[in-house]
Amino acid sequence: MGQEGKKLLVIVGPTASGKSSLAIELAKKLNGEIISADSRQIYKGLEIGSGAVTKKESQGIKHHLIGIASLKSTASAARYQKLARNAMRDVWSRGKLPIVCGGTGFYIQAAVDGIIMPSVKPNKKLRIKLGDKTARELSEMLRALDLKRWQSIDKNNKRRLVRSIEIARSLGSIPPLKSKPIEADVEFLGIDISKDELARLIKKRVKGMIRRGFIDETRKLIRNGMPEEKINEFGFEYRDAVAYLNGIIKSKAALTDSMAKQSLQYAKRQMTWFRRDKRIHWSKNKTETTKIVKEFFEKKTTRISNRPN
């Protein structure tokens, strides 16, 4: 594949919708490699609970950015952006097609659209200090620092207020939003699935997780001295597993139900994100998918389209 003909396929969809297996199938057909876009799968040690593909499932297709970050480190969109872009370059350099596949919309946006995030590292001390302030107090602080950003920010969202204050304190103000989109022809393929069907698949997936040792995976985290608050941050699956191990969730059946319910809620949030992106071509079945992919490869012009806001 020449420099001018670079292509990138992005597969999105809610959790458990079958993204991974579709990606593998397409990778086999299209000489591709998969770049995971998942904020949990990126960690080493969360493979089961995050639903990362197993070696067997991957069928020899190379997967990038799964299990590569230490649990002691913190994953972030900025970090993911760098890693994903490097991975894409790497795949292209070997003449193959990178297939970004995952459910973390913000990570995909960071990597593909290249939103330029202010290069201010998280300041733990500051975050702790600001942690017990009210949203109102934080809002006032930000207003004094950067009126412009203050006007557009969600004034109830403490987490965002803290980050903005963090940036403004370091740079003086929050730089205007810019992005450097990836220089390639990008196709967004979305898996369109009914709610009932998704609920069924989620239940199946959760059961499979538990069967494959999800609880042991969590137990291992605890045994390795990971504080419970930290484990809770790894997502609702782990929060539930901890609750189960502590006897708050009484049975495996209850654990399964809770995980499934929360997965469905998560799937909804994911869809709220994806629905907004009009570049995504939604596919209900194999026929539609084949058509979308075919058109993508027949298209000659290389257009770089920004995510509309």
- Residues at the interface with RNA (CB under 7 A): 15, 38-41, 49-51, 74-79, 103-107, 115, 117-122, 127, 149, 152-154, 156-160, 162-163, 167, 174-177, 195, 233, 235-237, 261-262, 264-266, 268-270, 272-273, 275-276, 309
| Cα distance between residue 23 and residue 28, in whole Å | 9
Q: What is the smallest separation between the CB atom of 192 and RNA, expressed in angstroms?
A: 14
In the complex with RNA, which residue's Cβ is closer, 96 or 173?
A: 173
Q: What are phi and psi of 175, to 5 degrees?
A: -65, 150
How many CB atoms neighbour CB 3 within 10 A?
Answer: 8
Q: How far apart are the first and last CA of the chain?
A: 31
In the complex with RNA, which residue's Cβ is closer, 173 or 288?
A: 173
Q: In the chain, how many H helices and how many E strands?
A: 14, 8
Per the CB < 8 A criterion, the answer to whether 99 and 26 are in contact is yes
Q: What is the smallest separation between the CB atom of 186 and RNA, expressed in angstroms?
A: 19
In the complex with RNA, which residue's Cβ is closer, 3 or 151?
A: 151
In the complex with RNA, which residue's Cβ is closer, 154 or 216?
A: 154
Residue whose token pair is 């071509």: 281
Q: What is the smallest separation between the CB atom of 102 and RNA, expressed in angstroms?
A: 8
Q: What is the smallest separation between the CB atom of 83 and RNA, expressed in angstroms?
A: 11
Closest CA to 193 of 106, 264, 278: 264
Q: What is the smallest separation between the CB atom of 94 and RNA, expressed in angstroms?
A: 28
| Cα distance between residue 176 and residue 193, in whole Å | 37
In the complex with RNA, which residue's Cβ is closer, 28 or 275?
A: 275
